[in-house]
Amino acid sequence: MTLPTRSRILGLGATVPEQKLTNDDLAKMVDTNDEWIVTRTGIRERRIMREDEKLSVMTADACRKAVANSGLTIDDIDVLIVCTYTPERLCPSAACETQGELGMGTKPAFDINAACSGFMYGLQVADSMVRAGVYRHVLVVGAEAQSRYVDYTDRGTCILFGDGAGAVVVGPSDDGTETGVLSILLGADARGNELITIRNACPGLGEKSPYKDTPPYIAMNGREVYKFAVRAVGEVLDNVLAQAGLTRDEVDLLIPHQANIRIIEAAAERLGLEKDRVVVNIERYGNTAAASIPLTLEEAATTGRLKSGMLAALVGFGGGFTYGACLIRW
Ligand SMILES: CC(C)(COP(=O)(O)OP(=O)(O)OC[C@H]1O[C@@H](n2cnc3c(N)ncnc32)[C@H](O)[C@@H]1OP(=O)(O)O)[C@@H](O)C(=O)NCCC(=O)NCCS
């Protein structure tokens, strides 16, 4: 058997909840205002799951769209990877619940938790599986139900996060062209362990929790995350370009994790990219963590901004501290 030299994205799909949470809505809940949030983050509204909505249903919906977009059927998919740090249950995994929704029989399914970098981690696993010939078609989906974990009394975090799911089908790039994943680089830095945490998720397990009677909630040191992110994004972009033997000026489109408009602008500046070569949708969705890059990628592809032959740079970072970048010839 000849192994594929490269994997590529065969299809994309995205789903966000219908319910919107605007900056004005948040201003009724905590001491904040639209102008502060827009200036500091670029966010105007986010999508939030209703109580009766399920992460696995939203995730499966994005998956079905990606599979349809690839021209394949669910039966053609060999394995499902769900990238999430906000599963509705620790066991079973979000992937096993989504696998059931999709009717994938007994095909393997597992979660990856690398917080907001989850999709980059999932993509590298999928790329490796395809190139090694382990599986032909890998369904990778970044999906988050962050609203289940957000503390809506904490104005430092509740303004940022939203829910959503973005999926891709990864398969061999055997069409004889140069398209596909050129290079992926990941990193993790334990010095950032305490910068973004979910507190009280495992009461009694490893965490002597003073919050015993409160539900799990996201806690963050925003200022330090910001500094960490700007540094990590710049470094990983330079390193992934070096790994691929490419230079900054060869990048046509930047598809960054949508965490904060100011971090995105710093990354674009580093690459010397004008605004029109950076895909931004943070104003509508906020930070959807592992869903953010595939949601943005899907939007870039379906709106025609990402065109055949372009070099796209994907970059993500988040809790852990984790980070990753990927170069794709579209
Ligand atoms: C969270 C973030 C927007 C806060 O912006 P900031 O400029 O760092 O603001 P600070 O936390 O230093 O707070 C500045 C002031 O604004 C106040 N403030 C914080 N949140 C506020 C809000 N939602 N509305 C109004 N005021 C707010 C603070 O209390 C502080 O007031 P003080 O000076 O009187 O003490 C910013 O740090 C950030 O985006 N960090 C990165 C977070 C991120 O990307 N996380 C996900 C990574 S995947």
Domain regions of the chain by residue span: 7-172, 180-329
Euclidean distance between CA atoms 69 and 80, whole angstroms: 16
Locate tokens 């305490």: which residue? 194
The closest residue, in CA terms, to atom 7 on ligand 1 is 40
Rounded to the nearest angstrom, the gap between the alpha carbon of residue 231 and the centroid of all alpha carbons in its chain is 19
Q: From first to last of its 330 residues, what are the pLDDT tens digits of the chain?
A: 788 889 999 999 999 999 999 999 999 999 999 999 999 999 999 999 999 999 999 999 999 999 999 999 999 999 999 999 999 998 999 999 999 999 999 999 999 999 999 999 999 999 999 999 999 999 999 999 999 999 999 999 999 999 999 999 999 997 777 899 999 999 999 999 999 999 888 766 555 555 556 788 999 999 999 999 999 999 999 999 999 999 999 999 999 999 999 999 988 988 888 989 999 999 999 999 999 999 999 999 999 999 999 999 999 999 999 999 999 999
CA atoms within 13 A on the CB side of 206: 4
Distance 263 CA to ligand 1 centre (A): 13
Q: Is the CB of 155 under 6 A from ligand 1?
A: yes
Q: Rounded CA gap, 198 and 147, in Å?
A: 12
Task: Give dist(CA 137, CA 4) in Å, integer.
Answer: 12
Q: Which CATH code of 3.40.50.1970, 2.60.120.700, 3.40.47.10, 3.40.605.10 fits the domain covering 7-172?
A: 3.40.47.10
Residue 265's closest CA among 8, 12, 34, 42? 42
What's the confidence (pLDDT) of residue 203? 64
Q: What would be the CATH architecture of the domain defined by 180-329? A: 3-Layer(aba) Sandwich (3.40)
DSSP output for 140-191:
EEEEE-GGGT--TT-TTTTTTB--EEEEEEEEE--SSSS-EEEEEEEEE-GG
Among the options 23, 137, 257, 260, which is catalytic?
A: 257
Which residue has the least CA distance to atom 23 on ligand 1?
155
Cβ(42) to ligand 1 under 6 A? no
Q: Which of 223, 233, 321 to mutate to test the pocket of ligand 1 (most atoms within 8 A of CB)?
A: 223
**In this structure, what DSSP letter does residue 206 have?**
T
Say if CB 186 and CB 112 are below 8 A apart: no
Residue with tokens 């993509």: 123
Nearest CA to ligand 1 atom 9: 223
Q: Residues 6 or more apart from 36 whose CB is under 8 A from it?
A: none
The residue to which tokens 């769209």 are assigned: 65
- Note if 287 is an active site residue: yes
Mutate to test the pocket of ligand 1, among 26, 37, 40, 84 (most ligand atoms within 8 A of CB): 40
CB 40 less than 6 A from any atom of ligand 1: yes
Q: What is the structure's pLDDT at 175?
A: 72
pTM (2 decimals)?
A: 0.96
Q: Identify whether the C-beta of residue 326 lies closer than 8 Å to the C-beta of residue 183.
A: yes
| Residue whose token pair is 């594929």 | 4
Is 239 one of the catalytic residues? no
pLDDT, position 1 = 74
Is the distance from the beta carbon of residue 259 to the nearest atom of ligand 1 less than 6 Å? yes
Ligand 1 centroid distance, CA of 222 (Å): 6
